[in-house]
Amino acid sequence: MARYLVTGVAGFIASRVAELLLKDGHTVVGVDNMNDAYDVRMKQHRLEQIEGTEGFQFHQLDIGDKEAVAALADDGPYDAVINLAARAGVRASLEDPWVYVRTNMDGTLNLLELCRHHNIKKFVLASTSSIYGADAPLPTPETANSSTPLQPYAATKKGAEAMCHAYHFLYDIDVTIVRYFTVYGPAGRPDMVMFRFAKWIREGESIQLNGDGEQSRGFTYVDDVARGTILATKNLGFEIINLGGHESITINELIALLEEHIGKKGQVERYPFPKADVIASWANVEKAGKMLGWEPAISLQEGVKRVVDWYEEQRHWAQDLDLD
């Protein structure tokens, strides 16, 4: 059994990664600063699902805090660090880019330093499809240009990726960077389209749609992403691997799918298309297949059904969640 340091553990994806690791009998030291980038009640809910599980230990701390991260060595030794903590909103990164640098870049550096000084040989970093910018070929392979980020969010992820490479080269830390594509699922982020649209349709509130709805996304179910992230803890040297869904749909098609599962029609209110957003994202996942034996398993039909079922079950509190 292995001992993992998982950052951002109250977050959407990391909480699922921690759950799967614990279920397999591993030990997880989880950290999160519980910030209010989105409604913190969702983070508390996720944490409650894990707290009390045997083998789990939680620290509330900021990975941008060098001393606090260095002190995590006291809870080691660790077999691997899985760094999923991040400021992750694309548009919010235009308002406060500094907090993105502190978490996504300084935070990653602090964790790499922890690896360097405490002989932790494996580092997994969550990165993003946003790194591919506006003109990426579809489906997008890892070799597509990622050197011209369009928002501070993508720029900080690119910086973190580059720092990982430097630490791999200098200190022989085995690094796998997983680039996720629009992840969704139960207890998903209230600042992301799947949760917002499900809530708006269910509650009879108008759907705030950016642009004409013809922008498309390759949605990826959270369990698939969590499983791929755990597979990425194997030793590979230094690799960048896409983890993305096999089905790409437009936002208009997504609305229709949600309406079908919720059994209710939504009212659309249109807003201009934000400059920071990309028109389409869709992953080429051949490399994940070859190197990790990974492929997405959950269809959009099934995944959307699970989101709708989760919302209905948790509606007594989830309907009050703030979406801003």
Ligand X SMILES: NC(=O)c1ccc[n+]([C@@H]2O[C@H](COP(=O)([O-])OP(=O)(O)OC[C@H]3O[C@@H](n4cnc5c(N)ncnc54)[C@H](O)[C@@H]3O)[C@@H](O)[C@H]2O)c1
Q: In the complex, which residues of this chain contact ligand X (CB under 6 A)?
A: 7-8, 10-14, 31-35, 43, 62-64, 84-88, 103, 107, 126, 128, 180, 182-183, 189
Taking the complex as a whole, the smallest distance from the CB of residue 50 to ligand X amounts, in Å, to: 12
Beta carbons within 10 angstroms of residue 275's beta carbon: 9
Looking at beta carbons only, is 120 or 283 nearer to ligand X?
283
Find the catalytic residue in 38, 100, 132, 153: 153
Residue 132 annotated among the catalytic residues of the structure: no
Taking the complex as a whole, the smallest distance from the CB of residue 267 to ligand X amounts, in Å, to: 26
State the Cα–Cα distance between residues 196 and 129, nearest whole angstrom. Answer: 21
- Dihedral, CA atoms, 243, 246, 249, 253, nearest 10 degrees? -120
State the Cα–Cα distance between residues 189 and 187, nearest whole angstrom. Answer: 7
Long-range CB contacts for residues 142-146, cutoff 8 Å, separation at least 24 = 142/179, 142/240, 142/241, 142/242, 142/284, 142/287
Taking the complex as a whole, the smallest distance from the CB of residue 113 to ligand X amounts, in Å, to: 15
State the Cα–Cα distance between residues 244 and 228, nearest whole angstrom. Answer: 10
Closest CA to 127 of 6, 238, 242: 242
State the sign of the Cα–Cα–Cα–Cα dihedral 5, 10, 14, 20.
Answer: positive
Residues 6+ apart with CB under 8 A from 313: none
Looking at beta carbons only, is 173 or 225 nearer to ligand X?
225
Looking at beta carbons only, is 33 or 267 nearer to ligand X?
33
How far is the CA of 302 from the CAs of 137, 261, 298, 320, in angstroms?
Answer: 28, 10, 6, 25
Looking at beta carbons only, is 11 or 133 nearer to ligand X?
11
What stretches of 150-283 show up as alpha helix (H) in DSSP?
152-171, 193-203, 222-231, 251-262
Looking at beta carbons only, is 3 or 46 nearer to ligand X?
46
Looking at beta carbons only, is 27 or 129 nearer to ligand X?
129
Exposure of 14 in the CB half-sphere (CA atoms within 13 A): 28
DSSP state of 138: S
Taking the complex as a whole, the smallest distance from the CB of residue 263 to ligand X amounts, in Å, to: 26
- Name the burial class of residue 319, with classes exposed (0-12), middle (13-18) and buried (19+) by CB atoms within 10 angstroms of its CB: exposed
Looking at beta carbons only, is 85 or 163 nearer to ligand X?
85
State the Cα–Cα distance between residues 165 and 172, nearest whole angstrom. Answer: 10
So which residues are the catalytic ones? 153
